[in-house]
Amino acid sequence: MRSRRQRQRRAITLIVAAAVLVGVGATAAVVWFNRASAQPQTATDDSATSEPTPTPEPLSPAEQLIADADDPLACAVSFAGDGIALDPVLQWQNGLYQALPIPSADGRVFAGWYATPEDAAAFTVAARVNGADPVACVEQQIELHAAWKTPDENVAENAQIPILMYHQFTANPDGEEGWLRGNYAYIGDFDAQMNHIATTGFYLPTWDELSAFIDGRLFLPARSVIITDDDADQTWFDLAVPVVDKFKVLTTSFMITAYRQDPPPSVYVLRRSHTHDMHQAGDNGKGRMVNWTAEEIAADLNASGDILGVREVIAYPFGHFNDTSKQGVAQAGYEMARTIEPGTVEIGTDKFALPVVRIDYGMGLESLISRIG
């Protein structure tokens, strides 16, 4: 057995050891605390450690148009060139250009929109863009470039714009019988004529371009032509429109809206008024257009314009017109009227008496070339 003295010594040793251990632990605790205090504090708020959200770049006007449209077929068309300060406009890639602006400037004549600045400088007719062309964009945007001519250059061009006037069509090369025989163009001739226009460098103006040309505000190339059909006969739909589609040539169908109101049979066919119900004889045997008052004429043309959704140009029924007719056309908000009088459109032509180049049966390609080049 251990002595009492031995037991006392062991107890003292244990007490001393415990005190040493407590002192070491306290020192370690102080060291840890000091080190922890020296370290940067970690914030618990996520906003203190995350990068600030960058302010988004504002959309350009063209980009804003596309964003607002929210349609993959939408195309923002911007305009560039000397003296051009125009907002972009929205167009649609499943159709032709619509209502492109025609800017004006003192001492200059606008010469059209072009796909590149180089084409604009060279006045490359094949690269001139207007309402006869399909909308084609890259990443839903395109920029068109302006060209200008001087008034002297515009006059020197001496452009004389033919408006071709067709009526009915036949697949019989020998033509049709009866008193309307001359109205029926052989579809084979029509095919050859449209091919000639489509492949030999003709420019196809829109009606708003023709109006600006008459005013002297727009330069048109000498090799320009407008193609029209009167009455919207069924043979126009069955025989002629497929040819129009094949050669992608802009045409205008003058419709008598009391008789038919068909939707456009092709993206290349514009519907315009041949009056609503004035394609009839009046009291004196001539057309209603020269029998009715200006107010009656305007009411009829307003009905037609409402149906077609456009007021721009009409074709006089039977070609009959007088000053009262012109007054009625103007009252209804139309800018031009086409007659059956022979001739071509020049700078200064009466907008309410546009002449035509009539195409009758038997007039083949050579006949057309002799008239329009």
**pLDDT tens digits for range 163-183:** 999 999 999 999 999 999 999
pLDDT at residue 279, as a whole number: 96
What does pTM read for this prediction?
0.84
Alpha-carbon torsion, ordered 90, 94, 99, 103, to 10 deg: 60
Angle between helices 323-331 and 294-308 (to 10 degrees): 40
Average pLDDT of 180-199?
97
- Residues 304-322 as b/e (b if ≥16 CB within 10 A, e otherwise) read bbeebeebbbbbbbbbbbe
The CATH classification number of 158-372 equals 3.20.20.370
3-state secondary structure of 330: helix
Closest alpha carbon to 107 in 152, 145, 155, 146: 152
Phi, psi of 322 (to 5 degrees): -150, -170
Sheet order of strands, 141-149 included: 89-92, 74-80, 141-149, 109-114, 128-129
Report the share of the chain in percent with pLDDT over 70: 87
Closest alpha carbon to 277 in 255, 294, 295, 262: 255
Contact residues for 247 (Cβ-Cβ < 8 A; gap 6+): 194, 195, 197, 198
Q: Mind listing the pLDDT tens digit for each residue in 9-33?
A: 444 343 334 333 334 344 433 333 3
Closest alpha carbon to 165 in 224, 251, 241, 247: 251
Contact 93, 64 (CB under 8 A): no
Average pLDDT of 152-168?
98
pLDDT exceeds 70 at position 315: yes
pLDDT at residue 82, as a whole number: 94
Positive or negative, the CA dihedral 75, 253, 193, 161 is negative
Beta strands 141-149; 163-166: pairing state: unpaired
Q: Mind listing the pLDDT tens digit for each residue in 37-83?
A: 444 444 445 545 567 777 778 999 999 999 999 999 999 999 999 99
Mean pLDDT of the chain, nearest integer: 89
Contact 187, 170 (CB under 8 A): yes
pLDDT at residue 16, as a whole number: 33
Say which CATH architecture domain 61-151 belongs to: Sandwich (2.60)
pLDDT exceeds 80 at position 316: yes
Q: Name the E strands within the chain.
A: 74-80, 89-92, 109-114, 128-129, 141-149, 163-166, 168-170, 184-186, 226-230, 251-255, 269-273, 313-315, 336-342, 354-358
pLDDT exceeds 60 at position 365: yes
Contact residues for 81 (Cβ-Cβ < 8 A; gap 6+): 117, 120, 145, 146, 147, 148
Confidence of residue 264 (pLDDT cuts 50, 70, 90): very high
pLDDT exceeds 90 at position 303: yes
Task: In whole angstroms, give the CA distance from residue 27 to residue 35.
Answer: 12
Task: In whole angstroms, give the CA distance from residue 317 to residue 327.
Answer: 16
Secondary structure letter of residue 194 according to DSSP: H
Task: In whole angstroms, give the CA distance from residue 154 to residue 48.
Answer: 68
Task: In whole angstroms, give the CA distance from residue 332 to residue 346.
Answer: 25
Which region holds residue 101: left if phi is over 0, alpha if psi is between -120 and 50, else beta?
beta
Every domain of the chain and the residues it spans: 61-151, 158-372
Contact 203, 128 (CB under 8 A): yes
More confident of the two residues 7 and 229: 229
Report the share of the chain in percent with pLDDT over 90: 82
Task: In whole angstroms, give the CA distance from residue 192 to residue 278.
Answer: 34
CA 223 to chain centre: 23
Contact 198, 248 (CB under 8 A): yes
Burial class (CB in 10 A: 0-12, 13-18, 19+), 18: exposed
Contact 198, 249 (CB under 8 A): yes
pLDDT at residue 357, as a whole number: 98
Q: Mind listing the pLDDT tens digit for each residue in 332-356?
A: 999 999 999 999 999 999 999 999 9
